[in-house]
Amino acid sequence: MKRSTILIRAHFLLMGAFFPTIASAAAVVPGASSDHPTVVELFQSQGCSSCPPANANINAIADRPDILALSFAVTYWDQLGWKDTFGSPRWTARQWDYANQAGRGEVATPQVIVNGGPTIVGSDRHQLDALIAQAGAPRGGPELIVESGILKLGAAPRAKSSIVWLVRYDPRVRNVPIRAGENGGRTLPHRDIVRELTKLGSWNGAAATFRVPPPDEQGLASAILVQQGTGGPITAARRI
C-alpha cells in the first residue's frame, strides 16, 4: 500500500513539474473578486506526511477575498494508523470524480485543483500562486445573487448543463493533535475544512431560483459553486 502510494505521489510530482515555478506577490487574480472568487480545492489527509506543506499554503490564502479556498479531507489514508477527524467518503468520491473526468486512473494527496480544472501538488507556494493567477476567476457561468435565502441564477443561453452546489466550510483555524500514523506527534492547523456539500439542483442556462437550506452545523461559512457535471470545470462561484 505504501509503495503504491509513493508511486502515485511521484506521478503527481511529475505532473506538477509542467507548471512553471514563478515567484509572485500574492497579488491580483485576473477577474477575481469577493463576488467572483477563484476556487482552490485541496484534497488532503491528516494521515499523509506530504500534506502539511500544501495545507499550510491553503491556510495562508484562506483570508484573501478573491480566493475561495476549500479543504477536503479524504479517507483512503485512514487505514494507515490515523483516521482523519474531518474525513468523509464523499470528499474521496469528489476527488475521484475529478480524476475520472481528466482520465487519471488514480488519486493522491496532496492535490490542489483550481476552478475544477488544472491540478498541482500544492506544496510549492510560488507554483500555487502562479497557477491561481493563470486560472483567474471562473468563467462562462451565470450571475449569482442570494437574497432572503433564495439563490438567483442569471441566464446564459449557451452554457452547458451544470450542477449547482451549496458548500459549507469551517473558516476557523482548527488545530488537531495527531496521535498516530505518519504525522503522529504533530499538531496540524486546518482552515476552510468542508463540512457540507449539497446539490441544490441543475442549471441549463435559463434563469433559475433555488432555496438555500439552513446549515446542519453552526459557525460555518457558505458559498455557491456552479460546475459542469461531476468533476468538470467550475464556471461560477460566490460566497453567501
Task: Please tell me the predicted confidence (pLDDT) of residue 29.
Answer: 85
User: Residue 5's pLDDT band (boundaries 50, 70, 90)?
Assistant: very low
7 has pLDDT over 70: no
- With a pLDDT cut of 90, the percent of the chain lying above it is 83
Task: Please tell me the predicted confidence (pLDDT) of residue 234.
Answer: 98
Residue 110 lies in a domain: yes
Task: Please tell me the predicted confidence (pLDDT) of residue 28.
Answer: 66
The structural domain count of the chain equals: 1
Residue 147 lies in a domain: yes
Residue 25 lies in a domain: no
Task: Please tell me the predicted confidence (pLDDT) of residue 9.
Answer: 47
Read off the CATH number of the domain in which 122 is found. 3.40.30.10
Render pLDDT for 148-159 as a digit per residue (tens, 0 to 9): 999 999 999 888
225 has pLDDT over 80: yes
Residue 107 lies in a domain: yes
d(CA 135, CA 138): 8
Range of the domain at 108: 2-20+31-239
Cell for 38?
A: 477563484
142 has pLDDT over 60: yes
Residue 186 lies in a domain: yes
User: Residue 27's pLDDT band (boundaries 50, 70, 90)?
Assistant: low
